């Protein structure tokens, strides 16, 4: 839930930045810090992490106009390019680590951040808007229950009819007829009903399965790196769009390059659970020497043996350090060997004969080629939370396909989802709808109302 809230806050920050003017406050600063800065800057403000410790930032920039600091926060590289002395001093110290750009932050918001950085002590944090969890009634069970009750009723009625018939027969002095269950079930009506029901059910099932052909809901492939979204997005609360940064501006959400991983992992060299076994794969991909904390020159031309020596040394060293050994024991040797094999397996396959180079992830969400989906449309314009389609990724150790990604699923959402009609000037052109909303003739405008069900919105 917290992550969702942060997502919402993040989105709100982007959207509301222009419209909300509440003046700087420490509370707002905390929210902003948690949403935007905490991934790289230490929360205690005193120690360096991926980015420098922030305490005293005001003093360090005091020699320059305040707007320089604003410019720095919004786009540090642009400020560096202008030759700003303070900016270049920082860059000389920290390069090649890039600071993310936050062009959407207003001056007030940055002031809020500075307030919070000054006194990071606790302060009341406003609750972000809660994402309503809709509990969907499981319809099939309702129907099965109803069916059962109806069936019982039918039997009861049959008994009553039979009994009444027997009563009237008794009046006429005739012996009562006792029908066995078998006799009841073999009547023409019952057989006809059974045949009808069977055809109906099998037909339905056949069509249902046919439309599901090629769908991969719950697809949960193994990945070359045992990357846990739960740890990153859940425990560490890294914003989704920190890594999948193209989701807001492109068709694709983007798989982060190894350099994005290195933003944090040049400092976080060992996993809390996996130790050296997984993170070393990133190092081996990009060519980072964790022992000296340097990127290696000419890594692309290294032989497998060179790479093996380096990372085995690293794994062994860390094993010894954590077990307070001075030399590798048998277990340690096994671990080094296994982890190295894991690295080779993850990074080298038939299509890619080298350890160096990109990490080949297995794609989880596969849309067919004839369906066009654009993340930016949904994330930036529609402001749909990632979790709406991808599920609670922050609770998944291994990501799986949460939704069907079927066309019916898309269409349903387009029918139900309201367009952000008032916030976006683009929609001003739909004058008729605006008039209807004003006059009360219409209470909402859904995606379907502006053509969201048309073929060529997704197929072209």
Partner 1 sequence: MHHDNGIWVGSEDLMRDEAFAKSSQSEFSVENIDQTDGKWQASRRDFLKLMGFGLGAATIAASCEIPVKKAIPYVTKPDEIVPGVANYFASTFVNGSDYCPILVKTREGRPIKIEGNTLSTVTNGGTSARAQASVLSLYDTRRIQNAGTVKEGSVTKMDWAGLDREVKAKLATGGNIRIVTNSIFSPSGESAMREFVAQYPTASIISYDAVSSAALLEANEKCFGFNLFPKYKFDEAAVICSFGADFLGTWGNPVQQARDYTKGRKVAGAKTPKMSRHYQVEGYMSLTGSNADSRIQIRPSEMGAAISALYAELSGNGGGPKLNDKAASAIKKVAKDLQSARGKSIVVSGSNNVAEQIIVNKINDLLGNINSTIDFNGASFTHSGDERQVAKLIDEMNGGQVATILVWGANPAWELPNAEAFKAAFAKVGTRISLNTNLDETTLLCTHAAPTNHFLESWGDALPVAGKFSIIQPTIAPLFATRQAEHSLLVWCDSPNLNSSSEQPYYEYVKANWQKDYFPNQTKYLTPDAFWEMSLHDGVHEVPPHDITVSFDQAVSVDLNGVSQPSTSELEISFFETVNIGGGQYAHNPWLQEMPDPVTRTVWGNYLSIPVEWDGVNNIDGWMGLNDGDEVDVEVNGQKFKCSVVKNFGQTVGTVAIALGGGRQAGGCGVSHGVNVNAAMKQENGLTQYYGVDVKVTPTGTKDKHFACVQHHNSMGVTAMGKEEGKVINADEKSLGWKGFQGSLTDRSIIFQTNIKDLQKLEHKLEEFHEESTHLNSQTLYPDNIEYFGTGMKWGMYIDLNSCIGCGACQVACVSENNVPVVGKKEVARHHEMTWLRIDRYFYGDLENPKVVYQPMMCQHCDNAPCENVCPVNATNHSMEGLNQMAYNRCIGTRYCANNCPYKVRRFNWLDYTTADVWPSNEERVFHVEGENLPFYADNLVRMVLNPDVTVRTRGVIEKCSFCVQRIQEGKLTAKKESRAIQDNDVRTACQTACPTGAIVFGNTNNPESEVSKASKNAGALAYKVLEEINVRPGVNYSAKIHNANEELFS
288-289/294-295 β-pairing: antiparallel
Residues numbered 68 to 107 that lie near partner 1 (CB under 8 A) are none
252 close to 279: Cβ distance less than 8 angstroms: no
* Integer Cα distance of 44 and 193 in angstroms: 72
Region near partner 1 per CB under 8 A, out of 82-90, 149-157, 182-190, 449-457? 449-457
Taking the least distance from each CB to partner 1, the nearer of 259 and 404 is 259
What x-and-dash track marks residues 341-380 binding partner 1 by CB under 8 A? ---------------xxxxxxxx--x--xx-x-xxxx--x
Least Å from the CB of residue 62 to partner 1: 31
The number of CA neighbours under 13 Å toward the Cβ of 234 is 14
Question: By CB under 8 A, is residue 441 in contact with partner 1?
Answer: no
Query: In the set 17, 75, 259, 383, which binds partner 1 (CB under 8 A)?
Result: 259
Query: In the set 256, 271, 332, 406, which binds partner 1 (CB under 8 A)?
Result: 256
Least Å from the CB of residue 149 to partner 1: 38
* 289 beta partners: 294
* Secondary structure (3-state) at 54: coil
Taking the least distance from each CB to partner 1, the nearer of 123 and 357 is 357
Residue by residue, DSSP assigns 382-395 as: S---HHHHH--GGG
Question: By CB under 8 A, is residue 450 in contact with partner 1?
Answer: yes
Go through 137-173 and write b for each residue having 16 or more CB atoms within 10 A of its CB, e for each that does not: eeeeeeeeeeeeeeeeeeeeeeeeeeeeeeeeeeeee
Least Å from the CB of residue 411 to partner 1: 13
Look-up: residue for tokens 């920190």? 242
What x-and-dash track marks residues 305-344 binding partner 1 by CB under 8 A? ----------------------------------------
* 288 beta partners: 295
Region near partner 1 per CB under 8 A, out of 50-58, 109-117, 194-202, 452-460? 452-460
What x-and-dash track marks residues 209-238 binding partner 1 by CB under 8 A? ----xx-x----x-----------------
* Integer Cα distance of 379 and 411 in angstroms: 17
Q: Considering CB under 8 A, how many residues would be counted as binding partner 1?
A: 54
Structure token pair of residue 113:
């951040």
Question: By CB under 8 A, is residue 197 in contact with partner 1?
Answer: no
Least Å from the CB of residue 420 to partner 1: 9
**In 148-298, which ranges are E strands?**
288-289, 294-295
Residues numbered 409 to 438 that lie near partner 1 (CB under 8 A) are 423-426, 428-433
Among 289, 292, 319, which Cα is nearest to 302's? 289
Distances in Å between the Cα of 70 and the Cα atoms of 51, 340, 430 are 17, 45, 37
110 close to 73: Cβ distance less than 8 angstroms: yes
Residues numbered 260 to 289 that lie near partner 1 (CB under 8 A) are 260, 285-286
Least Å from the CB of residue 358 to partner 1: 5
Question: By CB under 8 A, is residue 454 in contact with partner 1?
Answer: yes
402 close to 365: Cβ distance less than 8 angstroms: no
Question: By CB under 8 A, is residue 252 in contact with partner 1?
Answer: yes
Taking the least distance from each CB to partner 1, the nearer of 24 and 357 is 357
Quickly list H helices, 120-179.
139-171
Using CB under 8 A, list all residues that contact partner 1: 213-214, 216, 221, 246, 249-252, 254-260, 285-286, 356-363, 366, 369-370, 372, 374-377, 380-381, 423-426, 428-433, 450-451, 454-457, 459-460
């Amino acid at each position: 839930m917290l992550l969702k809230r942060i997502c919402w806050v993040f989105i709100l920050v982007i959207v509301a930045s222009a419209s909300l003017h509440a003046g700087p406050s420490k509370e707002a600063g905390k929210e902003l810090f948690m949403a935007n800065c905490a991934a790289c800057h230490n929360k205690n403000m005193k120690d360096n992490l991926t980015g420098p410790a922030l305490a005293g930032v005001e003093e360090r920039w005091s020699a320059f106009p305040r707007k320089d600091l604003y410019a720095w926060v919004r786009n540090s590289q642009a400020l560096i390019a202008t030759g700003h002395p303070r900016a270049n001093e920082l860059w000389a110290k920290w390069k090649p680590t890039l600071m993310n750009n936050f062009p959407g932050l207003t001056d007030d918001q940055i002031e809020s951040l500075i307030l919070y950085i000054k006194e990071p002590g606790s302060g009341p944090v406003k609750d972000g808007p809660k994402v309503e969890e809709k509990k969907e009634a499981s319809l099939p069970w309702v129907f099965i229950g109803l069916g059962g009750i109806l069936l019982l009723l039918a039997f009861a009625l049959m008994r009553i009819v039979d009994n009444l018939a027997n009563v009237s027969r008794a009046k006429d002095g005739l012996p009562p007829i006792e029908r066995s269950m078998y006799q009841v079930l073999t009547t023409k009506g019952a057989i006809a009903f059974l045949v009808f029901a069977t055809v109906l059910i099998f037909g339905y099932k056949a069509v249902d399965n046919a439309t599901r052909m090629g769908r991969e809901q719950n697809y949960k492939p193994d990945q070359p790196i045992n990357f846990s979204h739960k740890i990153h997005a859940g425990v560490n609360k890294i914003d989704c769009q920190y890594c999948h940064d193209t989701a807001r501006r492109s068709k694709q959400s983007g798989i982060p390059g190894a350099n994005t991983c290195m933003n944090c992992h040049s400092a976080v060299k060992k996993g809390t659970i996996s130790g050296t076994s997984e993170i070393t794969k990133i190092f081996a991909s990009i060519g980072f020497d964790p022992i000296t904390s340097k990127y290696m020159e000419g890594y692309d031309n290294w032989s497998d043996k060179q790479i093996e020596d380096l990372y085995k040394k690293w794994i062994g060293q860390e094993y010894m350090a954590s077990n307070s050994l001075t030399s590798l024991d048998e277990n340690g040797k096994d671990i080094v060997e296994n982890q190295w094999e894991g690295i080779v397996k993850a990074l080298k396959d038939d299509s890619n004969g080298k350890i160096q180079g990109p990490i080949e992830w297995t794609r989880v969400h596969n849309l067919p080629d004839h369906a066009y989906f654009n993340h930016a449309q949904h994330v930036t314009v529609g402001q749909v939370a990632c979790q709406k389609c991808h599920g609670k990724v922050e609770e998944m150790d291994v990501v799986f396909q949460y939704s069907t990604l079927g066309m019916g699923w898309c269409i349903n959402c387009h029918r139900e989802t309201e367009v952000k009609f008032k916030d976006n000037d683009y929609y001003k052109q739909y004058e008729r709808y605006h008039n209807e909303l004003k006059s009360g003739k219409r209470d909402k405008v859904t995606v379907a109302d502006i053509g969201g069900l048309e073929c060529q919105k997704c197929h072209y």
